[in-house]
Amino acid sequence: MDASWVLHADGVLGVSAGAVPGVDLSAWPPPGAATVRTDDAYALLQKQGYAYGPVFRGLKAVWRRGDEVFAEVELPEAAHGDAERFGIHPALLDATMHALGVGEDVTGDEPTELPFSWTDVSLHAAGAHALRVRLSPQGMNSLSLTLADQDGAPVATIGGLTFRPVSVEQLGASRTAGALHEVVWRPLAGAGAGAGAGAGAGAGVVWSGWDEFVGGGVVSGPVVCEVGAGGVSAGAGGVSAGAGAGAGGVVSGVRSVVGGVLGVVQEWLKDGRGEEWPLVVVTRGAV
């Protein structure tokens, strides 16, 4: 990239003293708290510029008790398996703050704000797919958060969280401009490569299939490894993750394919027979 790197966040990581938070969320709903209507929560948040997809719409219930706000948030069932990959799933953590955007006096015309500074963050347990949340004022412009699991056991505490205002236009622009990665199609110079083992391709170049390479064949030109519609399969000249993966299997399918390609590259690098020639990984229908 020609552009210089931009600092988006920094922080300090330290060793926890191991203290468990004193706020008890085992009694639920919170005693003495009044229920807050949430049926229009995401319509109100949409007016403020927050365009949340289905995984991020985790707010289930909200209560207020004085200055305190309590909430119940949960990932959709399709994302429960992904929760185990995180200390706190990003969509679940984001949903804890959605409780601030609901209430009888909320119109959706309030200033749009984003989390800016997190201090005294401690993680006590990992992998939760549902949380009980307590948000309370901490000084003039900050909140503290206490997060617990469905049984009230501590999950995380945030000693201080401050927000910074952002315009709706800025928030919308962040979804399209300045991405770290982009898809750029570049025409292939010269004749196209043949598809499959032993296929010839332009200018007399001899292309070998991956199955020939792993079978001990002589390498006398570029070696082609195909990633087919089902993925990567090193035993038949390609890489395969299996067929029939539905929406819930997209993540595992991607991991399997990427892992298969990694295995191919590792095999290629450890074998000196391919030093003079490129390894060509061919994909189809990837976009």
In this model, does residue 85 exceed pLDDT 80?
yes
Q: pLDDT tens digit string along 125-145?
A: 999 999 999 999 987 779 999
DSSP H helical ranges for 190-249: 210-214
Does residue 153 lie in a domain region?
Answer: yes
Does residue 114 lie in a domain region?
Answer: yes
Contact assessment for residue 104 and residue 137, using Cβ atoms and an 8 Å cutoff: no
CA count, 13 A, side-chain hemisphere, 220 = 9
Percent residues over pLDDT 90 in the chain: 37
- pLDDT at site 236: 38
DSSP symbols for 248-266: GGHHHHHHHHHHHHHHHHH
Number of structural domains, the chain? Answer: 2
- pLDDT at site 204: 66
Q: Does residue 41 sit in the same domain as residue 119?
A: yes
Does residue 164 lie in a domain region?
Answer: yes
Q: Does residue 81 sit in the same domain as residue 163?
A: yes
Q: Does residue 121 sit in the same domain as residue 223?
A: no
Q: Does residue 65 sit in the same domain as residue 113?
A: yes
Does residue 137 lie in a domain region?
Answer: yes
Distance, in Å, from the CA atom of 114 to the CA atom of 128, rounded to the nearest integer, reads 23
Q: Does residue 145 sit in the same domain as residue 69?
A: yes
Q: Does residue 109 sit in the same domain as residue 215?
A: no
Q: Does residue 228 sit in the same domain as residue 265?
A: yes
Q: Does residue 206 sit in the same domain as residue 266?
A: yes
- pLDDT at site 14: 82
Does residue 90 lie in a domain region?
Answer: yes
Does residue 27 lie in a domain region?
Answer: no
Q: Does residue 167 sit in the same domain as residue 207?
A: no
Name the domain boundary from 138, 154, 173: 173
Per the document, the length of the chain is 287
Q: Does residue 142 sit in the same domain as residue 240?
A: no
86: domain CATH number is 3.10.129.110
Q: Does residue 133 sit in the same domain as residue 224?
A: no
Q: pLDDT tens digit string along 23-80?
A: 889 999 999 999 999 999 999 898 888 889 999 999 999 999 999 999 999 999 999 9
Q: pLDDT tens digit string along 206-251?
A: 788 888 888 887 778 888 988 865 554 444 345 555 544 454 577 7
Name the domain boundary from 103, 138, 173: 173
- pLDDT at site 197: 42
Does residue 184 lie in a domain region?
Answer: no
Give the containing element (helix H, strand E) for 96.
helix 90-96
- pLDDT at site 233: 47
- pLDDT at site 188: 67
Question: Containing domain of residue 211, as a range?
Answer: 200-283
- pLDDT at site 38: 92
Q: Does residue 122 sit in the same domain as residue 61?
A: yes
The number of angstroms, rounded, from the C-alpha of 81 to the middle of its chain's C-alpha atoms is 13
pLDDT confidence band for 161 (50 / 70 / 90): very high
Supply the mean pLDDT for the chain: 81
Give the residue-averaged pLDDT of 268-274.
80
Does residue 73 lie in a domain region?
Answer: yes
